Structure 1
């Protein structure tokens, strides 16, 4: 069974990733179409193409500091550039010959990749894995200045889907989810990030 595949909302030129912030960062980012202060360029920022994974992480935008859900549309070239520089957060034997090799690579990495259990609509953990990509301060400028094509505040959609779920209207909630599908990865990138 293939469990490590990237599923995302994407087209020929772009891929949508999700982030959750407090309103002081999320609001200005949505208004400006990119990140502006007080967003910090000096710390790692994590981007995730799975909407439902972020819903589980942010508790449907109800966790403090994660009340604003942003859909960040970035270039596929930027996304694949990040993946090409990535090192897994664990010493996967399919990628690294030894723990020492992984440790050396990880210490130099500007991008981290982590595979976490994908989530169901109700927040349950699935067998499939969902990718998280951590961009260090060494690459955040490129993310903000070169890769971002636009940012939309998806918090109203999040609240609507969550409200339907709470009302037991699962079919209607599911119909509103972003249409994520398999992202085609070049084999060299798949090897780098330990994808199936």
Structure 2
């Protein structure tokens, strides 16, 4: 029996993300002005700054306080090409990789880690110019979840969370981001 349970254990570090055959969804928290411009242009005008991306909806919700923290009032879902996402994972230097505890909807740390990606320099240029396929505002969903949790309706809140299956990493990328543990 022990072997059976071990096979289904979540790895200590795992990238989970909403994804299609050609895209991977990440979340970027920003100010209302940046969000409005990004939604209109379906791109970001930000260059020269570090761009922080979370593939995990729950980690993005935790970071932004469900859209309540100053400077993080809006949360945008940004669909990236898989090629761009994997380029980011493979290029340490202009890309900062960090692993933090994944969170549940109440922001309690879970027993495995989710990836956070910081883009700088040329990685920001690629992100803005090449990788983005769509930008959607998910702030209302995040706030709805927060409201449902505040009124003890976890069963309804859970239904609003996007499905984020494990992202299957090629072995070399798993090693590059230290996700092999």
- CA distance in structure 1 between the aligned counterparts of 2:140 and 2:104, rounded to whole angstroms: 20
Is there any run of 5+ residues in structure 1 with no aligned partner, and where?
87-108
TM-score (norm 2): 0.92
| Aligned pair partner of 1:82 in 81, 88, 101 | 88
1:43-122 correspondence to structure 2 within 5 Å: 43-86=49-92, 109-122=93-106
Would you say how many aligned residue pairs link Structure 1 and Structure 2?
Answer: 171
1:160-171 correspondence to structure 2 within 5 Å: 160-171=144-155
CA shift, 1:16, in A, is: 0.2
- Say whether 1:11 aligns with 2:20: yes
Equivalent position SS for 1:149: strand
Q: Which contiguous aligned blocks of 4+ residues in structure 1 show a shift greater than 3 angstroms?
A: none
Is there any run of 5+ residues in structure 2 with no aligned partner, and where?
1-8
Whether the 8 Å contact between 1:13 and 1:75 is mirrored in structure 2 is yes
1:127-142 correspondence to structure 2 within 5 Å: 127-142=111-126
Equivalent position SS for 2:96: strand
- CA distance in structure 1 between the aligned counterparts of 2:123 and 2:102, rounded to whole angstroms: 26
CA shift, 1:150, in A, is: 0.8
Name the Cα RMSD after superposition.
0.9
CA shift, 1:135, in A, is: 0.7
For each residue in 1:18-45, what CA deviation from the matched residue of structure 2 results, as whole angstroms up to 9, or x when unmatched? 0110101011111221113xxx300111
